[in-house]
Structure 1
Amino acid sequence: MPERKQRLMALRHVASQISSDEDLDGLLRDLVRSAVQQDDWDLGSVMSIDLAHGYGLVVTRFETSILPQHTEDRWELATSPSLIALQKNEPVYIRDALESTQFPGYRREAKERGYRTVLVLPMSSKDSEGRPMVLTVASRSVRDVSEEDLTFMATVVHLGSIAIERAHRQRAQHESHLRLQNALEAQRRLLRDVLAGGSVEHLTSTLADLLGGPVLVIDFFANHLVGAGSPAPASMDDAEWQRWLAGAFGRETVTLVRESIQRFQQTSIDIALHRGLNVKAAIAPLKVDEELVGALLTFGVTGSGDLHQLMLESARFALSVQMMRSVVRFRFETRTLTELFFEIVERRWRDEEDILQRGRRLGLSLVSPLRMLVVDFPDQRVPADAARAASNLSVESHGTVELLARQLHVPIHIVTVGSGLVCLIPQDGLRDVSALPRLAKRISETLARSLGREPIVAIGEVFQGIEPLASEWERCWRMIRVARKFGRSGPLDIQGLGPLPMLMGAADSADVHGFVDGTIGGLVDHDRSSGTPYLDTLAAYLRSGCRSQPCADAMGLHVTTLRYRLSRIQELFGIDVESPERRFAVELAIQLHTLTNAGANPAASRKTLPRNRD
């Protein structure tokens, strides 16, 4: 009875010792010391079993001797009873290690360190790296181990396993608490940076550190890509990655990501870099008022659970706030510049100095030489949500033109006019005079991919001042009307279109309108009210050189029908084209009438480039 009581007191002491230390290493030291001291062993150790590499690693030791001795901390499992203890989940008892031939490693160390009896007990707990462990005790004399001894040692090991599992849980809780604190601190840091007006580049770098991997932020409004860290560092360093983003591949990536979100609702995407190298990225859309404004792409960022999701949502929220500032700035600057532009071209200003000051506040000097480039979008056949589609088209095209100008080092001010863009380009900041035609060509080719076909890009001449700006707008608009009439697209200038824009400009005068009305006005009115084809017949007759049969063949008429129409035209309207002078006058009137009705007055609408397509 006294011995049993002594054993119970010993277990109580073991439990109190190993429960007093929350540190795993300290706990294991206390466990070995208690196991050795409470059951009169001479030395002991805890060993982690590395099954993958076939070794047992000593984690901690305790020895009653104070003399320094050589110790082996790494054992091959083939020479250790630890693997047998774990596989059978029962103690391995070696009565005399000096006499045993089964475990040569223990026999060799027993000679060096002077111990005889060894007891190896499997533990149900694991170390900090998830490896199984065993507790080993040894005696310097040969010792018989009874069932009661085994029960006592098994209870000690069990108490130790409970304490180890508790330490694991406490450590996991502590690490989880630290991660949560770090995530909350990262949230605060992100919001501070955003509210303080930090740049997207700084924010992107912070996000890469926070999420633990390369990230790419795409701003659809600015058509801008900001990357932090290469997604394939072995094949493409950070500098090469930045050049890749700034080039044509970067522009294609913007379109690809936008379509992946809007059309396919994808949450990941494969990006082809070069030499057959693809990288996979997770896509997180960024929205402001339910409008897609950007995207966050993460490469190789692994993680799951609520905390990772919280960090990702924090990143999205911070970027959305940053994008919202960009959206507001874009809309304000675009609206303000558009208002100023139309006030000038509609000649509604009263104080010229006020107009000049407003331009200077927007970074546009109206007293310096400028050149105008007008982009006219082709007709878009869109469904019921046409307003939003047109808005997205203008935003996307605005960003694309801005990016292209930046790549060609062309300073630019872009005015959004609904179904087109007006680009005002300062000439004193233009390094290369050939850059403007190249920019017009790049705009036409790049926008063709998103618009479905090439837009008209009218290139104006150099002007200086407010009134010349309004006149140049009218000239560019006349070029667009001519291009529309003849089905032209792509880059155009006044030389490429010949005298037609000049003729159209003259056709808008009151004298010319009077000439057209006096020559063919009655015929035009009759066709409009009665639906007769007299004007088309007369125009076809003049084009055929006033030859009846070729004209009838071209119109698909019988020659008698053609002659009847021509006689009616002469009877009703007094139009005679037999003499060269009258023929020239009528033909000129028809051409002027066609030109003046090919489009509307460019100042008549502030929302869109006019499109009265007769």
Structure 2
Amino acid sequence: MDHSCASNGPTVPGQKDSSAIDWKAKLSSLTQAVVQINGTGSLESVLVNLVTTACKQVGWAMGSIMSISAEHGFAYVMARHDPNLLQRELRDRWELATSPSLMALQRNQQIYIRDARESAEFPAYRIEAFERDYRSVLVVPMNCADFEGRPMVLSLLSRQISEISEDDQAILDMVVQLGVAAVEQERRVQAARQEAARQEKALSAHKSLLDHALADNSVPLLCKLLENLLQTPVVVVDFTVSQVVGGRTPDPARFDDETWQAEVRRVYGAQIAKIAREAAERATQAQTMIALHNGADTLQLAARIQPLVVDADKVGAMVIFTQVSEPDILELMILDSARFALSVVMMRNFIRFRFEKRSQAELFFEVIERRWRDKADLLMRAQRQGLDFSRRQQMLIVDFESSGHEFSSMAINLHRALSQAVQAPAKGISVLAVDGAMICLCPVGPENSQAEMHKLAQRAARELSAYLDKPPVVVLSAVCADLPDYAEAWERSRRVVAIARSMGKFGALSMQDFGPMPMLAAAAGVDEVRLFLDDVLGQIIGYDREKGTPYLETLEIFLREQGRSQATADAMGLHVTTLRYRLKRIEELFGINVEAPERRFAVDLAIRLYKMIAPE
């Protein structure tokens, strides 16, 4: 910095006797300022301390640190040292037209006014010099800016005509540098706080999305959660059920959120679905312009289309509108978590609607898949096939885990054995065969209590075990009073079967025999789950088994503690440095970076599923 001076005083100020300066005391005072900067003090308190230190060490009476707004034409006081005992209102801003601050910044040199009471260049200082009883003025540019980007200066006032020695100048240079350090330190602290808040919000969003996915919530419910988490407009397209769900409006000038969602349902949804399918097939995620027509005019919107893929099957897409602005870093993290959560939910939908059977069971699947349109027509066709869906019934589902030729070769014997087992204690039961399973439609009446129905399920499991190498899984559904009830009852029962198979259980079972977590595995399918687990955790499981390392346990506890290093270290009895080294080692060995939201989500989900289906 140029230390030359300007105004009505000499350009080279006089010097003090350096032998009279107590450098030890001065350095001690500056050291205290450094400690405060590195401590937990606020920026305002640090700046006040620096101004006070500058005044005391160079022997001047008062001082302040100001930020300069050339745009508004004022210098604003950020910190002040004024030991005057008289209580009076002090100005907190100066017009730049009457202040040397702007000149100091423009020249990048300090401005020294030897006697403000005689200054013709700065008349406002001359008036205030009498009011506040000071003479000399020094304004020093600080080469830093406040948090609004306004440059800062240090201003000192002396009650008598004072000059700045070389030793004083050295002290002031150090004060200015400490001021710069204090501002940069506070800037780093605020950035760290903002980053921590961003990470916390992303982690909370990740947890909410994971919980929704595991709770078997629908795509619309996930979209509603996403709408609350994001400012960026998103439309979700579910290819598995031909569903399009709108969120925030991408064009606030034309639609509010409610109107936009209604228009998506009415006219834009089919167009968005078609555009999303085409983009998913091209596998492009570059920003593009999409045109939507409502019959009267055309809506042009900028968007990015991200396909949702499960095992190479494109199950849906997220249409992210960038008309107003691109998503920020936090929203990108949330979008990555949302993409995975939506894929999980759509994966269930995709698998649910894969059944396409043609046989005596065709009508049954028409019922449970809700493919019927005319209830009277379906009931009539059912009666012709010996099935009565007009009465209250429960489904007794017997799963043999076999299909194809193996099942066909023994289906007659199994059908006969099951019919004998269930018809002996109860009348009016219909038994039909599907690929790999048998379904008994059991009428529910006063004579058939639930206890008796459970005994029936146990009898069927016991009788059929004699014909099989592996005992079957037998599940009794909820009571079905009307056609729509069968779909939900079938889905729940099939989940129980899938859970039982994945956990090696058999016999007569119900959902109460399991916890809530296995529901996701059942919806996805055991083979798909095992492939997913092998892809995410296969290497680390094998390494732990071979080397005896606790890497999988470390990841599990780290995620359970929501990524808090100290809490994880405490739970594992480790020093936090050891934990961080272990996490770094996991990333080096297996490429698992739990700081990335999409990776953290996948690892968390994989660990939960692994704990459920892993062998004892």
Find out whether 1:45 has 2:64 as its counterpart.
yes
**Residue in 1 aligned with 2:163?**
144
**Residue in 1 aligned with 2:185?**
166
CA change 1:356–1:11 in 2 (3 A) is: closer
CA distance in 2, matches of 1:97, 1:18: 33
CA change 1:134–1:230 in 2 (3 A) is: same
Give, in angstroms, the shift of residue 273 of structure 1. 5.6
CA RMSD of superposed structures (Å): 3.0
| Aligned counterpart in structure 1 of residue 344 of structure 2, from 315, 321, 346 | 321
Tell me the TM-score normalized by structure 2: 0.53
Amino acid at match of 2:343: S
| Aligned counterpart in structure 2 of residue 267 of structure 1, from 264, 286, 299 | 286
CA distance in 1, matches of 2:274, 2:347: 20
After superposition, residues 180-259 of structure 1 pair within 5 angstroms as 180-259=199-278
| Aligned counterpart in structure 2 of residue 286 of structure 1, from 290, 303, 308 | 308
CA change 1:312–1:239 in 2 (3 A) is: closer
CA distance in 2, matches of 1:100, 1:234: 57
Find out whether 1:312 has 2:312 as its counterpart.
no
Deviations 1:17-41 (A, max 9, x none): 4444443233222222322333333
**Residue in 1 aligned with 2:545?**
none
Unaligned runs of 5+ in 2: 1-18, 381-616
CA distance in 1, matches of 2:235, 2:353: 21
Give, in angstroms, the shift of residue 361 of structure 1. 4.3
Contact 2:284/2:305 (8 A) holds in 1: no
Amino acid at match of 2:248: G
Find out whether 1:157 has 2:176 as its counterpart.
yes
Deviations 1:196-220 (A, max 9, x none): 1223233223323434322211112
Count of matched residue positions in the alignment of Structure 1 and Structure 2: 356
After superposition, residues 30-109 of structure 1 pair within 5 angstroms as 30-109=49-128
Percent identity, aligned pairs only? Answer: 41
SS of the aligned residue for 1:247 comes to helix
**Residue in 2 aligned with 1:380?**
none
CA change 1:241–1:148 in 2 (3 A) is: same
Amino acid at match of 2:264: L
CA change 1:320–1:244 in 2 (3 A) is: same
Amino acid at match of 1:279: L
SS of the aligned residue for 1:252 comes to helix
**Residue in 2 aligned with 1:297?**
319
Give, in angstroms, the shift of residue 366 of structure 1. 7.6
Amino acid at match of 1:312: L
SS of the aligned residue for 1:294 comes to strand
Give, in angstroms, the shift of residue 286 of structure 1. 0.9
CA change 1:312–1:135 in 2 (3 A) is: same
Give, in angstroms, the shift of residue 317 of structure 1. 1.0
CA change 1:222–1:361 in 2 (3 A) is: closer
Give, in angstroms, the shift of residue 47 of structure 1. 1.3
CA distance in 2, matches of 1:117, 1:82: 15
Amino acid at match of 2:302: K
Find out whether 1:368 has 2:410 as its counterpart.
no
Structure number with bigger Rg: 1
| Aligned counterpart in structure 2 of residue 15 of structure 1, from 34, 44, 53 | 34
Give, in angstroms, the shift of residue 158 of structure 1. 0.9
Using CA pairs below 8 Å that are at least 6 residues apart, which structure has the higher relative contact order? 2
CA distance in 1, matches of 2:288, 2:341: 23
Amino acid at match of 1:240: T
Unaligned runs of 5+ in 1: 350-354, 373-614
Amino acid at match of 1:267: A
**Residue in 1 aligned with 2:572?**
none
CA distance in 1, matches of 2:250, 2:216: 27
After superposition, residues 564-575 of structure 1 pair within 5 angstroms as none
SS of the aligned residue for 1:53 comes to coil
CA distance in 2, matches of 1:91, 1:243: 64
Amino acid at match of 1:161: V
CA change 1:168–1:240 in 2 (3 A) is: same
CA distance in 2, matches of 1:227, 1:367: 32
**Residue in 2 aligned with 1:3?**
21
Amino acid at match of 1:114: D
Find out whether 1:27 has 2:49 as its counterpart.
no
Amino acid at match of 2:62: L
Amino acid at match of 1:302: E
Contact 2:117/2:129 (8 A) holds in 1: yes
CA change 1:115–1:213 in 2 (3 A) is: farther
Contact 1:27/1:164 (8 A) holds in 2: no
SS of the aligned residue for 1:102 comes to coil
CA change 1:173–1:126 in 2 (3 A) is: same
CA change 1:224–1:357 in 2 (3 A) is: closer
Contact 1:214/1:298 (8 A) holds in 2: yes
**Residue in 2 aligned with 1:175?**
194
CA distance in 2, matches of 1:119, 1:89: 14
Deviations 1:415-453 (A, max 9, x none): xxxxxxxxxxxxxxxxxxxxxxxxxxxxxxxxxxxxxxx
Deviations 1:68-114 (A, max 9, x none): 32322233323222222222222111222222222334334334433
Give, in angstroms, the shift of residue 241 of structure 1. 0.4
Contact 2:231/2:248 (8 A) holds in 1: no
Tell me the TM-score normalized by structure 1: 0.53
Amino acid at match of 2:335: L
Contact 2:308/2:343 (8 A) holds in 1: yes
More off after superposition, 64-73 vs 312-321? 64-73
CA distance in 1, matches of 2:44, 2:343: 46
CA distance in 2, matches of 1:88, 1:328: 72
CA distance in 1, matches of 2:121, 2:320: 55
Contact 2:135/2:159 (8 A) holds in 1: yes
Contact 2:234/2:246 (8 A) holds in 1: yes
After superposition, residues 350-389 of structure 1 pair within 5 angstroms as 360-363=367-370, 364=372, 368-369=376-377
**Residue in 2 aligned with 1:493?**
none
Contact 1:69/1:113 (8 A) holds in 2: no
